[in-house]
């Protein structure tokens, strides 16, 4: 099946009991047995398994061209399960362009459990290879990254990780499986904050992990069940509802973002624009090879005049809402240094390429003319 068909059909078969064309929300916490230990249809207790969640897990696995999907209560719950593959004394190597919450989680794992980590610039494959240690179990990356929109070579990094007996984990939240399927490029585990493009409507918090390896799946399933960070049946249902339009939404996100990026690139008050779809992006050629259909809905810009002007732009828009998060139908604007990446020190932000004049934009699905007009008016007042 092709992507658009999978988005609507995979895991979302009509309900075998009633014929409902939409997967029902099974709210039951427990399931009846006829005899001790004999389950009626395989369902026992809803933390361990739930039919609505199982449909979502099947759907996301299919979209990522994986074999096994696991849904979690949040992207961070998915990350907690995946980092549980690592023991004390072992090591995680992460790209320096990483989500602020992942940065905090890795710090916590070091302080509390002596799970070591270090960062490298994954656009420099030599630097990446030198940063691997015999203890490295996971190589952790995003592409495009949050909030710097850096694109790195997933296939080349998978090769290097495997040569050093490490697993490659790709956080595919920014691209969505419509634009990029990292398992096809050699990744071992794909992660999502389904809060973002997969849910797509800013009305849920969720996460997912997908793999092709039955052994990894068994271990991750155990962590999902043991830690219990599972999503509610209603949130699973909302995610499935979002997925049915993922391909259509992503097309519009890409189209609108290209338009907004081109507008900003020509604006005299904007110092630089980072959008993988622009020829000015340092990894534009790689993005063209590695991604399909388009380059996503996220843009980072540097505003001339520094932090004060960047904050004025964020506070001056009317259509774009000043808020955390991304990937919803409504356009959002944010200031990473004091919002998503506030847990970093100024030095850490500088090293990660998050300057004080950076503004991050999640381009939504409104009419692109209104989005451009709104930014033009806000920039006028900066
Ligand atoms: C939001 C986000 C996360 C965390 O997901 P939550 O659903 O907020 O827990 C992880 N990675 C990326 C790239 C994100 O944008």
Q: Domain coordinates of the chain in residue numbers?
A: 3-244, 246-380
Spacing, Cα 192 to ligand 1 middle (Å) = 7
Spacing, Cα 137 to ligand 1 middle (Å) = 22
pLDDT value of residue 37: 84
Domain boundaries 246-380, CATH class: alpha beta
pLDDT value of residue 298: 98
Least Cα distance to 192 among 31, 8, 69, 33 occurs for 69
CATH T-level fold of 3-244: 3.40.640
pTM (two decimals): 0.96
- Is the beta carbon of 193 within 6 A of some atom in ligand 1? yes
Q: How far is CA 49 from CA 28, 29, 32, 223, 282, in A?
A: 11, 10, 14, 13, 44
- Is the beta carbon of 195 within 6 A of some atom in ligand 1? yes
Spacing, Cα 39 to ligand 1 middle (Å) = 36
- Is the beta carbon of 68 within 6 A of some atom in ligand 1? no
Least Cα distance to 319 among 380, 364, 267, 260 occurs for 364
CB 225 within 8 A of CB 48: yes
CB 97 within 8 A of CB 352: yes
- Is the beta carbon of 101 within 6 A of some atom in ligand 1? yes
Q: Which of the residues in the chain have pLDDT under 50?
A: none
pLDDT value of residue 43: 94
The catalytic residues are 47, 99, 171, 196
Mutate to test the pocket of ligand 1, among 99, 325, 341 (most ligand atoms within 8 A of CB): 99
- Is the beta carbon of 75 within 6 A of some atom in ligand 1? yes
- Is the beta carbon of 74 within 6 A of some atom in ligand 1? yes
Spacing, Cα 22 to ligand 1 middle (Å) = 27
- Atom 5, ligand 1: which residue's CA is nearest? 75
Spacing, Cα 75 to ligand 1 middle (Å) = 5
Q: Which residues contact 233 (CB under 8 A, 6 or more apart)?
A: 25, 26, 27, 46, 50, 52, 53
């Amino acid at each position: 099946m092709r992507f658009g068909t999978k988005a609507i059909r995979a895991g979302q078969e009509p309900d075998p009991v009633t014929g409902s064309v939409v997967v029902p929300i099974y709210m039951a916490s427990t399931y009846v047995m006829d005899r001790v230990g004999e389950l009626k249809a395989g369902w026992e207790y809803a933390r361990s398994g739930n039919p609505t969640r199982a449909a979502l897990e099947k759907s996301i696995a299919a979209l990522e061209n994986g074999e096994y999907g696991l849904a979690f209560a949040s992207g961070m719950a998915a990350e907690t399960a995946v980092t549980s593959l690592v023991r004390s004394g072992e090591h995680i190597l992460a790209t320096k362009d990483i989500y602020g919450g992942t940065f905090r989680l890795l710090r916590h794992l070091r302080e509390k459990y002596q799970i070591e980590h270090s960062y490298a610039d994954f656009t420099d494959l030599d630097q990446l290879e030198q940063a691997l240690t015999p203890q490295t179990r996971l190589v952790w990356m995003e592409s495009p990254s949050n909030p710097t929109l850096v694109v790195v070579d997933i296939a080349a990094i998978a090769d290097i990780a495997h040569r050093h007996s490490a697993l490659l984990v790709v956080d595919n939240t920014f691209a969505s499986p419509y634009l990029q399927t990292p398992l096809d490029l050699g990744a071992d585990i794909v992660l999502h904050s389904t809060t973002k493009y997969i849910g797509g409507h800013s009305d849920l918090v969720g996460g997912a992990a997908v793999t092709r390896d039955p052994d990894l799946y068994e271990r991750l399933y155990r962590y999902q069940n043991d830690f219990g960070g599972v999503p509610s049946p209603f949130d699973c249902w909302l995610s499935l509802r979002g997925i049915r339009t993922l391909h259509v939404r992503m097309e519009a996100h890409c189209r609108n973002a290209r338009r907004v990026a081109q507008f900003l690139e020509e604006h005299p008050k904007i110092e630089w624009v980072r959008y993988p779809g622009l020829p000015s992006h340092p990894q534009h050629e790689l993005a063209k090879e590695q991604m399909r259909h388009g380059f996503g809905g996220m843009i980072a810009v540097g505003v001339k005049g520094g932090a004060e002007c960047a904050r004025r732009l964020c506070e001056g828009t009317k259509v774009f809402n000043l808020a955390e998060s991304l990937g919803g139908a409504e356009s959002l604007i944010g200031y990473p240094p004091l919002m998503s990446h506030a847990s970093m020190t100024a030095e850490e932000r500088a090293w990660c390429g998050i300057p004080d004049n950076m503004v991050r934009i999640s381009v939504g699905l409104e009419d692109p003319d209104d989005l451009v007009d709104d930014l033009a008016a806000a920039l006028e007042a900066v």
